[in-house]
Amino acid sequence: MGLAILGPALSVTPAEAAQPVAVPLPRAVSVSAPGLVTGISCSPSCDLFAKAGTDTVGGHVLPVWNFTQGDTTVTGANPVIVATAGDTLHITLHDALTVPVSLSIPGLANVAPDYAGAAPAATKSYTVTVDRPGTYIYQAGHIGGSDPGPREVAMGLAGALVVRPAGTPNQVLASSAPASGFDDEAVLVLSDVDPLFAAAPATYDLRSFNGAYRMINGQVYPATAPILSLDIA
């Protein structure tokens, strides 16, 4: 799975190239409402579960792994975490998979690598201070030994973390001339899926990964949620 996060600030990882394929007519999807991006708060605390489930991708029901807010059903997409620069996040990771899982946030220097993670059916607590505004990825981290981390990311354990500047929520650079503000935003998590890998994530040769389906926020175009914009006079 190639992965990228596009948001109101910084894109932090590249997407891998994949050949697009024909997909069936779209299923019903929700609409991304105009205005500021909303999501879950992990300040003072939140619970994320690493879980297995299924998602309909290109007309096929495929195994997927996601983070969920609480012990809820996997939907194919991970929750967006929204914070403000200076916040301290307290995240309890619950491993509901059969492999160990750790949490990583690339681009935040104060997040130390965790090569142990949470064992299956166990939990692990993380305390993270988000000191810089931007758009980041939270994802399954590297694990020592056989290191299932990259395979876990490819199975879907990666979501968006939006860190807003302190002060006015929609003011990006208050000191610039003119001030750089915005009235509307949307986060796009770009990924791709190889059905053969999804069917055998523990044994499939990642060098043969072929992203047959390109995803936007866990959905295959054209079955992606429309992004509405504000009607500004």
Distance in angstroms (rounded) separating the CA atoms of residues 7 and 10: 7
Highest mean pLDDT, choosing among 8-17, 54-63, 120-129, 139-148: 120-129
The domain covering 3-22+36-169+184-220 belongs, at the CATH homologous superfamily level, to: Cupredoxins -  blue copper proteins (2.60.40.420)
CA-closest candidate to residue 142, choices 124, 115, 118, 119:
115
Q: What is the pLDDT of residue 34?
A: 67
For every residue of the chain, which 3-state class applies, written as one string? Answer: CCEEEECCCCCCCCCCCCCCCCCCCCCCCCCECCCCCCCECCCCCEEEEEEEEEEEECCEEEEEEEEEECCCCCCCCCCCEEEECCCEEEEEEEECCCCCECEECCCCCCCCCCCCCECCCCEEEEEEECCCCEEEEEEECCCCCCCCHHHHHHCCCEEEEEEECCCCCCEEECCCCCCEECCCCCCEEEEEECHHHHHCCCCCCHHHCCCCEEEECCEECCCCCCECCCCCC
CA-closest candidate to residue 150, choices 231, 220, 204:
204
Share of the chain above pLDDT 90, in %: 45
Average pLDDT over residues 7-12: 36
Q: What is the pLDDT of residue 73?
A: 92
Distance in angstroms (rounded) separating the CA atoms of residues 68 and 46: 11
Are the C-beta atoms of residues 145 and 117 closer than 8 Å to each other?
A: no
Query: Please, which pLDDT band fits residue 3 given cuts at 50, 70 and 90?
Result: low
Highest mean pLDDT, choosing among 47-51, 133-137, 178-182, 218-222: 47-51
Residue pLDDT, tens place only, 53-68 = 998 887 889 999 999 9
Range in 29-33, 100-104, 130-134 the model is least confident about: 29-33
Average pLDDT over residues 159-183: 67
Distance in angstroms (rounded) separating the CA atoms of residues 216 and 15: 12
Distance in angstroms (rounded) separating the CA atoms of residues 12 and 80: 15
Q: What is the pLDDT of residue 170?
A: 55
List, in sequence order, every residue forming a beta bridge with 163; answer none if it has no partner: 83, 134
Query: Please, which pLDDT band fits residue 181 given cuts at 50, 70 and 90?
Result: low
Distance in angstroms (rounded) separating the CA atoms of residues 218 and 190: 8
Residue pLDDT, tens place only, 30-60 = 445 667 788 999 999 999 999 999 988 878 8
Distance in angstroms (rounded) separating the CA atoms of residues 189 and 216: 6
Residue pLDDT, tens place only, 76-101 = 889 999 999 999 999 999 999 999 99
